Amino acid sequence: MAELDAGLTRPLIGAFSRYTLGGEVGDMIGLAKQPVLERLIATAWPLLVAFREGLIPLPAVPAVLWTLEEALRKFVLLFLSEGRRIAIDIPDVNRPS
């Protein structure tokens, strides 16, 4: 998927992942540090969340925001999986002894 955007969004997604997971986890999973983007996200994200929360009481806004957030979530999953199917098998029985 990096070919679609010439690799421009990977640093942004990595910086946001480091912001949400924390630097220690980011280091453990091998996310590259993006100091400028990380500072930008740490400053802008709380403002964006406050703005979004202020809009919630308005009519039709919750449905519109859900649609936008779901589209963003799907894009991120598609990007991070590089277009491959994500399958997580959850066992429904205990491991036999």
Mean pLDDT throughout 17-43?
93
* pLDDT at residue 8 is higher than 80: no
What is the sign, positive or negative, of the torsion defined by CA atoms of 8, 33, 75, 80? positive
> What is the pLDDT, as a whole number, of residue 97?
64
pLDDT-derived band of residue 4, with 50, 70 and 90 as boundaries?
low
* pLDDT at residue 35 is higher than 90: yes
CA 90 – CA 63 distance, rounded (Å): 31
Kindly give the residue spans of alpha helices, DSSP state H, lying in the chain.
2-5, 9-21, 23-28, 35-55, 61-80
pLDDT tens string 51-82:
989 988 999 999 999 999 999 889 878 877 87
pLDDT-derived band of residue 88, with 50, 70 and 90 as boundaries?
confident
Provide the residue type at 60 as one letter.
A
CA 16 – CA 37 distance, rounded (Å): 8
**Chain position carrying tokens 């649609």:** 67
Take residue 91 and report the two structure tokens written for it.
């066992």
